[in-house]
Structure 1
Amino acid sequence: MPKHKTAQQWFTLIEQQALSGLSITDFCQQHNLSTKSFYYHRAKHHKKKAPQKSQSSFVAAQPAVPAPVPQPPLLQFKHGQSTVLLPSTTDTLWLAESKSLTPITNLHHPKMPSKL
Structure 2
Amino acid sequence: MKITRSHEQWRAILTEQQASGLTIIDYCRKHQLATSSFYVFRKKLGITTSSFVRTQVTQQVELITQQPPIELTLGKATLKLPSNTCATYLGQVLRALV
In the superposition, the TM-score normalised over structure 2's length comes to 0.45
Q: Relative to total residues, which structure has the larger helix share, 1 or 2?
A: 1
Bigger CA radius of gyration? 1
In the superposition, the TM-score normalised over structure 1's length comes to 0.38
Q: Which has the higher contact order (CA 8 A, sep 6+)?
A: 2
